[in-house]
Structure 1
Amino acid sequence: MKKEILIGFAVGVIATIFGFIFAIQIFGHSDDWGTVIEQAITEGFFTKLMSIGALLNLGAFFIFLKKNKDHRAKGVLISTVVILIITMVIKFFN
């Protein structure tokens, strides 16, 4: 059971990373990811990019539910909550 939750957590983190990269490619005004991230931090929309990146977790969550992999879906949900907490910490302490 713990292994299934850990797999779901890893899928959630990886999906968030891919979503974040995808958001950078769409909304960034440069081909250099470092420049886009630096610009996002200075202009204050870095947390918005993180939130958009976490949207891919929604798809992973429902795929796991459809396949009756409830523990993996729980892991995706946990990773989404962790990303939420990290986003809030960055938002309010920056």
Structure 2
Amino acid sequence: MKVTDMLIGLIIGLAAALTGCFLFIVIFTDYGFTEGFEIMKREGQTGKLITLGAILNLIAFFALLKAKKEIMARGVLLATIILAIATILL
């Protein structure tokens, strides 16, 4: 049960970050998601985009803590750590 809860939290964290990236590109640029992502990638801004997208993980983390789902919240934290490592490597 603990492993599946952590895996669900990891999926929630990655989905929240992807949603955050999508919302950032769609709201703050004049491009669609794929075109905006390609432009960010070409300009070397992918790490910054991932970082801004991960802001939604805060909301997911605290919502899971409030719902007493600590193991899932750990999964969201793990997703944030994975995204931080990806940001450093990019």
TM-score > 0.5, shorter chain as reference: yes
- RMSD over aligned Cα atoms: 1.1
What CA deviation, in whole Å up to 9, does each residue of 1:40-63 have, x standing for no partner?
122222211111110000000000
Spell out the pairing of 1:22-37 with structure 2 (5 A cutoff): 22-30=23-31, 32-37=32-37
For 1:88 and 1:26, the matched residues in 2 are separated by: 25
The range that moved more, 72-81 or 20-29, is: 20-29
**Percent of matched pairs sharing the same residue:** 36
Q: Which runs of 5+ in 1 are unaligned?
A: none
Q: Which runs of 5+ in 2 are unaligned?
A: none
Taking structure 2 as the reference length, the TM-score comes to 0.91
Q: Which residue of 2 aligns with 1:40?
A: 40
What CA deviation, in whole Å up to 9, does each residue of 1:21-75 have, x standing for no partner?
0011123232x32221121122222211111110000000000111111000000
Taking structure 1 as the reference length, the TM-score comes to 0.87
- SS state of the match for residue 30, structure 2? coil
Q: Which runs of 4+ in 1 moved over 6 A?
A: none
